[in-house]
Amino acid sequence: MSPPFTFSSNFLRKDICGSAWIGRQVRGVKTRLVVAIDVPTFVSARRLIETLAGIEVTFKVGYEALYGYGPELLGLLESRGAAYMLDVKLHDIPRTVHAAVKALVRPGVALLTVHALGGAEMLAAAAEAAVERAAELGIPAPGVLAITILTSLAAKDVSALGLGGSPGESVLRLAALAREARCAGVVCSVAEAGGIKAACGAAFVVLCPGIRPGGSAHGDQRRTATPGDARAAGADYIVVGRPIVEDADPAAAARAILAELS
């Protein structure tokens, strides 16, 4: 019988926060723009990447791209030397997540996501696997970000899940869990960003989706805020999908958001 799954004790938080990928991004107060490649085909993804070339954005590869045309897209990003975010939202037993993270780490993966609701041991497994695999490959370790409460959930949805208190209280609890498990940071709404920085420290990465520039449609997002709000709250990154991807001029939309962040 194989031994129970355990985590090595020599795994240190500085392994992640000191990494070249993250270290270069959390210094200072700048809020960076992550663009979600939420488009249905590789051809449209490549067009979006080319359209945004030369603009200071990081790309995010999520379910739609990864399941639809993942290998082609990751190959393209790698060939361009791009650092990108792998939004895989892992949520499984610790051993499975550890193995998945080991399989996912590769050059260019700067950030990858797991669900904080997977629990402390699962979070620690993910964080440890990222460091282990990066060391094997001789590359900077990606930062593991724990998704707290999805920005598509309103207060009533959170209480329907059986979580006590407000969404903000759940988010703070989960952020503390993620920090304890040596994750690099969390994904949360802008409303929670300031509280997390205060509780978990300035170096703990805060990435906020649910961003809607003034006048743009909310779609399925509920806990939304503008890019300017995110900057004021001290978010390290904002993630924007539809307001850029579905704009008739994605480059102009991205530039307008960057102007609001500067």
Specify the residue, 87 or 128, whose C-beta has the smaller distance to ligand C5P: 87
Q: Which two tokens stand for residue 37?
A: 């490649």
Q: For residues 223 and 214, give the distance between their C-alpha atoms in angstroms, rounded to a whole number.
A: 14
Query: Whose CA is closest to 241, among 82, 76, 61?
Result: 61
In the complex, what is the shortest distance from the CB of residue 209 to ligand C5P, in angstroms, rounded to a whole number? 3
102 as an active site residue: the answer is: no
Binding flag, residue 241, ligand C5P (CB under 6 A): yes
The residue length of the chain stands at 262
Residue choice 83, 141, 147, 253 for contact with ligand C5P (CB under 6 A): 147
Footprint on residues 4-63 left by ligand C5P (CB under 6 A): 36, 38, 62
Q: For residues 110 and 20, give the distance between their C-alpha atoms in angstroms, rounded to a whole number.
A: 9
* Separation of CA 222 from chain center: 18
H or E element that contains 123: helix 120-137
SS3 94: helix
In the complex, what is the shortest distance from the CB of residue 189 to ligand C5P, in angstroms, rounded to a whole number? 8
Binding flag, residue 242, ligand C5P (CB under 6 A): yes
* Count of residues interacting with ligand C5P (CB under 6 A): 16
Footprint on residues 118-137 left by ligand C5P (CB under 6 A): none
Catalytic residue among 14, 30, 89, 102: 89
The DSSP output letter for 223 is: S
Q: Which residues are catalytic?
A: 89
What are the residues binding ligand C5P (CB under 6 A)?
36, 38, 62, 87, 147, 150-151, 187, 209-210, 219, 221, 239-242
